[in-house]
Amino acid sequence: MDKWYMEDGENCDAVICSKVCLLRNMRGVPFPWRMNESQKELAELQVRSAVFDKNSVLYGKFKLVEMGRISENEAVSLAERGLADADFVSGGAGRDIFFNGNESVSITANGRNHVSIQSLTAGSDIFTAYEAADKVETVLDKHLDFAFDSELGYLTPDPINVGTGMQASMLLHLPSLTDVGAAARISSNLSKIGFSLQCVYGSAAKPRGALYVISNRVTLGISENEILSNLKSMALQVIKREREARKELACDIKVQDTVYRTLGILQKARFMTDDELFDLVSVLRFGIEAGIVKNISYQCLNGLTLQAQPATLTLNAGRPLTQDERSARRACIVREALGGAG
């Protein structure tokens, strides 16, 4: 089964993915950070029972991974593939993660919240991501009785998430706005109206990879539909500005030269670090977005980037690898994916 990141997505020239996460906690049960071991074990069993109920529409669709029974590489690979965050996978025993076949939907138990339901879609279709998460939440709520207050909404350990208990975001690739120095200014303006635009790697002054997460910081007193509509509308405005800046940069012969040189390195290199791949893929993605590079898809870049991550790469090798062995194997994966194996 193809993974979610190998699918076509709307506005995929600027939006890598959309993510919705529903945070839920069981009524009458202490928040995870206050639970003792027996309470954690009971909560874990309750979530498993809800997911694997033979009468549920979820039955047979999710794989269970017990965090206390896997290696460090297996745990880190889950984070690399976007199934859970780094804090969750480092938590060890007493935590579970469930995910479906194409890894678009995952459920974590006993993380920061009792239950976190995450849904990912390629591109900007954040409503589809929400619908998938909401369907799972509706089923689990019948078994787990999630804590809900008629005035406050869903209750969570973090006050910022009280209300809808929903986190929604989009991962944007904004190389043109970054290059002309506009990304930081847009981020500052968005923060004044309740949105966040944060670079994923590096700092606001020196972002790396031109990857940014845009999200809504307000969840109390506003509906899920309003949050999603506002977020998508704001993201589309940012995308419009990226496309305008991209059009100008794409006409510069020096920019075109940089893109083609980058493609040459990716197709021929025999040794490549994780950081080097990250930077080069960003340039190549810009080349595809700008129409400079033909016959390489966004899905191809998504797939090779994830397969070349350190822990995932090591797992697929089936044996421990030295840093140099990982760099050599990473370069081989990239050459094969981009048709430069010669």
pLDDT at 221: 82
The Cα 3–Cα 11 span in angstroms is 19
pLDDT at 77: 97
DSSP 270-285: S---HHHHHHHHHHHH
- 205-227: average pLDDT: 88
CATH pick for 4-247 out of 3.30.590.10, 3.30.70.141, 3.40.30.10, 3.40.640.10: 3.30.590.10
pLDDT at 218: 78
What is the distance, to the nearest Å, from the Cα of residue 256 to the centroid of all Cα atoms in its chain? 29
pLDDT in tens, 14-50: 999 999 999 999 999 999 999 999 999 999 999 999 9
Residues 6+ apart with CB under 8 A from 119: 19, 20, 21, 104, 105, 129, 130, 132, 133, 136
- Return the biggest CA–CA distance within the chain: 65
Where is average pLDDT lowest: 3-17, 48-62, 212-226, 250-264?
A: 212-226
Task: Kindly list the domain boundaries of the chain, sorted by start residue.
Answer: 4-247, 253-337
- 107 sits in which H/E element: strand 105-109
pLDDT in tens, 62-78: 999 999 999 999 999 99
pLDDT at 340: 64
pLDDT in tens, 254-304: 999 999 999 999 999 999 999 999 999 999 999 999 999 999 999 999 999
Query: Binning pLDDT at 50, 70 and 90, where does residue 342 land?
Result: very low
- Residue ranges of alpha helices (H) inside 31-182 are 37-51, 72-80, 86-89, 126-144, 175-179
User: CB of 42 within 8 A of CB of 50?
Assistant: no
pLDDT in tens, 96-148: 999 999 999 999 999 999 999 999 999 999 999 999 999 999 999 999 999 99
pLDDT in tens, 137-187: 999 999 999 999 999 999 999 998 999 999 999 999 999 999 999 999 999
pLDDT at 341: 46
The Cα 131–Cα 263 span in angstroms is 38
